[in-house]
């Protein structure tokens, strides 16, 4: 199965007050965490607001970058921009949010195996304590439906239409954490340190 990943990094991080991808968690910035976990999957980082903040860093870490001129219309347009920039014959793509960084590489492997094992699976998501999380693995069979959404279209509408073909694997707390505010950031840093200590 030929895979790719699209990191949605075009938002303003307005509630955080600074680009969350550049914040440090442990000994790495959030963007470093994301791209290291996705390696060696070919990855596109879609930026919009203040592209100069992350373009050089993302490319230095091996990702391809593209600018979404319609980023003010939300994540749908950024995912569409990433889909249009994919190389040929991609079978499935991981959609990764800018604050989804603590997932383990093994989770990605389990998601891919689930899609391979069930031919009718078009979407695979991690869940934790009954809550859906990210990243989400999306089959190429749905790419055209996402691309057909208007500027104000909602990606969840495509997901909901294909719930019969949505499969799930067990994730952990890092798949469902949000990091939108400075308070969220402080909590995430403490959780990361606690996780590292307990694992050590």
pLDDT in tens, 46-66: 998 776 778 888 999 999 999
Report the C-alpha gap between 185 and 23 in whole angstroms: 9
Report the C-alpha gap between 23 and 32 in whole angstroms: 10
pLDDT the model gives residue 165: 97
E strand intervals along the chain: 3-9, 24-25, 28-29, 43-47, 64-67, 92-97, 123-128, 131-132, 136-139, 166-170
Task: Name the 3-class secondary structure at 75.
Answer: helix
Q: What is this structure's pTM?
A: 0.92
Task: Name the 3-class secondary structure at 158.
Answer: helix
Task: Name the 3-class secondary structure at 15.
Answer: coil
CA geometry: angle at 111 spanning 54 and 143, to 5°? 65
Task: Look at residues 60, 96, 103 and name the one whose alpha carbon lies nearest to residue 79.
Answer: 96
Low-confidence ranges of the chain (pLDDT < 70): 12-14, 17, 51, 196-200
pLDDT the model gives residue 200: 31
pLDDT the model gives residue 198: 42
Structural domains in the chain plus CATH codes: 3-199 (3.90.550.10)
Tens-digit pLDDT profile for residues 54-104: 888 899 999 999 999 888 888 899 999 999 999 889 999 999 998 889 998
Task: Name the 3-class secondary structure at 101.
Answer: coil
């Amino acid at each position: 199965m030929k895979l790719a990943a699209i990191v949605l990094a075009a938002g303003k991080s307005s509630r955080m007050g600074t680009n969350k991808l550049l914040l440090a968690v442990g000994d790495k910035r959030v963007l470093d965490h994301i791209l290291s976990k996705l390696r060696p999957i070919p990855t596109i980082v879609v930026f919009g607001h203040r592209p100069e903040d992350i373009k050089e860093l993302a490319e230095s870490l091996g990702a391809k970058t593209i600018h979404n001129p319609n980023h003010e219309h939300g994540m749908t347009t950024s995912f569409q921009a990433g889909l249009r920039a994919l190389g040929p014959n991609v079978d499935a793509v991981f959609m990764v949010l800018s604050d989804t960084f603590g997932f383990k590489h093994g989770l990605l492997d389990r998601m891919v195996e689930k899609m391979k094992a069930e031919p009718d699976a078009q979407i695979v998501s991690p869940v934790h304590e009954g809550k859906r999380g990210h990243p989400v693995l999306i089959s190429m069979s749905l790419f055209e439906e996402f691309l057909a959404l208007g500027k104000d279209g909602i990606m969840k509408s495509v997901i909901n239409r294909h719930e019969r073909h949505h499969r799930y694997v067990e994730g952990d707390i890092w798949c469902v954490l949000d990091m939108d505010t400075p308070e969220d950031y402080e909590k995430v840093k403490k959780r990361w340190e606690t996780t590292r200590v307990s694992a050590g």
